[in-house]
Amino acid sequence: MSQPNILILRAPGTNCDAETAYAFERAGGKPQRIHLNRLLERSDMLADYQVLCIPGGFSYGDDVAAGRIFANQIRHHLADTLNAFRDAGKLILGICNGFQVLIKCGLLDTDDSQGPAATLTWNDSGRFIDCWVPLQVRAEGPPCVYLAGIERLYLPVAHAEGKFVTRDAETLDRLQQTGQLVLRYRSADDNDNPGGLHGNPNGSLRDVAGICDRTGRVFGLMPHPERHIDPTQHPSWTRRQDSPVQASPTHADQAEGDGLQVFRNAVEYFQ
């Protein structure tokens, strides 16, 4: 398949769907933005797609909790459909609010016999944060499709409920042992300069910025890769060679932003 079809699933309050669709288009895919209500009406349409992405924003105004209403719609009406989609070898991606949705609807393999064993909750600061952070890929288990060939990233975060927590230490150890804690905040950049709010902007346990399921095909992350697909989106793009915040092995003349490879990996998975 030369151009996989990507479904960008939006809901009331989603506000990053256009940028995410553009990122997938730049990566060589064929994205289409579809409202959740359409999928609820016709869940069989999912068979026409190879990638499902839930983008960032504030779905349903983040009432109750960030991503909770969207997640409940999936858990109660689309669970079998999305599990079959995943089991067919297809890909699912959740960015920021989409990550909150995936972890709360059970698609990230964090649930156990007692229910959800991990979640995303309020940042330690108790407020919304918006900054750029250096990130490190941790390949401790089966590879995550989206992070193939990537060691480090420099991306923006923008959220109020991005702190990754687990029910207990045993759950956290289990997720690490199964290789699911694939993306971490780094405390410093390549020049040992502190990252945003000292690297971990929300207080996530073990500096977790993103996790995947045990297959490596379902991935959720709090940072926004769609907001760094062009080099001019870097906050220091006019002085990259001398920038103290440079976090990836790129240069001032780089042709693309760090985030584009995340989308390209998803597209190339089907080529």
Span 19-35, pLDDT tens digits: 999 999 999 999 999 99
Pairing of strands 30-35, 5-10: parallel
Is the C-alpha dihedral spanning 178, 101, 221, 1 positive or negative? positive
3-state secondary structure of 12: coil
Residue 244 has pLDDT above 90, yes or no: no
DSSP structure class, residue 109:
S
Query: For residue 41, how far is the Cα from the chain centroid?
Result: 26
Do you know the residue count of the chain? 271
Backbone angles phi, psi at 32, to 5 degrees: -140, 130
d(Cα 252, Cα 116) in Å, to the nearest integer?
44
Which stretch of DSSP H or E encloses residue 210? strand 208-212
Residue 175 has pLDDT above 50, yes or no: yes
pLDDT (tens digit, 9 = 90+) per residue, 187-198? 755 554 444 445
DSSP structure class, residue 167:
S
Enter the pTM of the model. 0.92
The residue ranges of every structural domain in the chain are: 5-268
Count how many Cα atoms sit within 13 Å of the Cα of residue 97 in the half-sphere of its side chain. Answer: 26
5-268 — its CATH code? 3.40.50.880
* β-sheet bridge partners, residue 154: 134
pLDDT (tens digit, 9 = 90+) per residue, 54-106? 999 999 999 889 999 999 999 999 999 999 999 999 999 999 999 999 999 99
pLDDT (tens digit, 9 = 90+) per residue, 118-166? 999 999 999 999 999 999 998 777 789 999 999 999 999 999 999 999 9
Annotated catalytic sites, by residue?
96, 224, 226
Backbone angles phi, psi at 44, to 5 degrees: -70, -15
